[in-house]
Amino acid sequence: MLELSILGFLYETPLHGYQLRKHITALTGHVRPVGESTLYPAIKRLEKAGLLVRESQPGQAAAPRQVLTLTPAGRDELRRRLAEADGPDITDENRWFTLLAFLRHLGDPAAQAAVLRRRLAFLEEPASFFYDGEHPLRAEDLDDPFRRGILTIARATSQAELAWLRTTLSALERG
């Protein structure tokens, strides 16, 4: 998801590494903090793959900065990754939110709707954090107030997301 975030933010505007790191940190927050030791190797991989370029520009009051810009191949790669998102990109909430942050760049409403339909199908499957054998437990099935709280909050979040997904899918399909 780090590479998707890099491609997504650079799709919007060229940035230098520090700005990019701040944007990614704002998106992922405390869940997945981004350190320089992770960010810069990812930038180098994307640069080596021809998906972004760096250009030295004078700093305002400091040394020159390396500004990162997405190449046309990088723009295509972002759109490909968005269109093909599946599996953990759809089921892991943090990865899903990162993908959702850039889904508008996919551009094609039918392709956007296809991604949203995959998330909708995942959310409509019966699931729980807790099971009795193979049977998923509901909040009402638990005496533990903390586990009941987890399931109550998860249900409310899922219901809100399901409502949003259905409304957005309807709008995308109407054109």
Please tell me the predicted confidence (pLDDT) of residue 143.
92
Please tell me the predicted confidence (pLDDT) of residue 45.
96
Q: What is the pLDDT along the chain (175 residues), one digit of tens a residue?
A: 899 999 999 999 999 888 999 999 888 876 666 777 889 999 999 999 999 999 988 766 667 788 999 999 999 999 999 999 999 999 998 899 999 999 999 999 999 999 999 999 999 988 888 998 988 888 999 999 999 999 999 999 999 999 999 999 999 999 7
Question: What is the chain's percent helix, strand, coil content, to nearest 5?
Answer: 65, 10, 25
User: Which of the 8 DSSP states describes residue 15?
Assistant: E
Q: Which two tokens stand for residue 141?
A: 């099935």
Helix (H) or strand (E) holding 151: helix 145-174
Please tell me the predicted confidence (pLDDT) of residue 65.
80
Helix (H, G, I), strand (E, B) or coil at 66: strand
Distance between CA atoms of 175 and 169, rounded to whole angstroms? 10
Residue given tokens 């759809």 in the structure block: 90
Contacts of 89 (CB under 8 A, 6+ apart): 1, 95, 96, 99
Cα 125 to chain centroid distance, Å, stands at 21
Please tell me the predicted confidence (pLDDT) of residue 58.
75
Please tell me the predicted confidence (pLDDT) of residue 36.
76
Per-position DSSP letters for 85-125, written without gaps between them: --THHHHSHHHHHHHHHHGGGG--HHHHHHHHHHHHHHHHS
Contacts of 50 (CB under 8 A, 6+ apart): 71, 73, 74
Q: Which two tokens stand for residue 105?
A: 């760049």
Give residue 130's identity as a one-letter amino acid code: F
